[in-house]
Amino acid sequence: MKNGLKLLAPIYSAHRMVEDYVQQAYLPAYKNYLALSRDNFTSAKELAAWRMDLMTKWSDVKIRNVRYQPFDEIFAGDKVQVQAELFVNGLRPEDISVEIYAVQWMCRAISLTAEQKPCSPRPRPVMAGLFMKGT
């Protein structure tokens, strides 16, 4: 036990933890404060105006007509060609990013109604859509 503490104490200590907080949180926050407060807070005002513009226009941003080539299998890192129409409501292209996600459709039907169709014997990946987020 003593040996374990002797080996681990330099790695897991309050001093190291405080040093990590200073390097990873406090100093970057202070540098951001200096950058945003320069020139009578001009950068902070520009950032606030950009965020307000993004928030007020975001609800009218739309993704429509998503098109892609169907596939039976897809793996992380595979390339998939996707096309979509984006209405960005006056936002600049650099203000948004579009991410594609795929999900695997799993059939777990217990009973089928007249409107439901039976599932294929093997689960099949299906492109679910696009996700758009402000940068």
Last residue of a domain, one of 36, 56, 76: 56
Do 74 and 128 belong together in one domain?
yes
Number of domains in the chain: 2
Q: Quick one: pLDDT band at residue 135, thresholds 50, 70, 90? A: low
The pLDDT of residue 121: 46
Do 67 and 23 belong together in one domain?
no
Do 40 and 73 belong together in one domain?
no
Sign of CA dihedral 106, 110, 116, 121: positive
Task: Give the domain range for residue 73.
Answer: 59-134
Residue 104 has pLDDT above 80, yes or no: no
Do 43 and 100 belong together in one domain?
no
Strand pairing partners for 20?
A: none
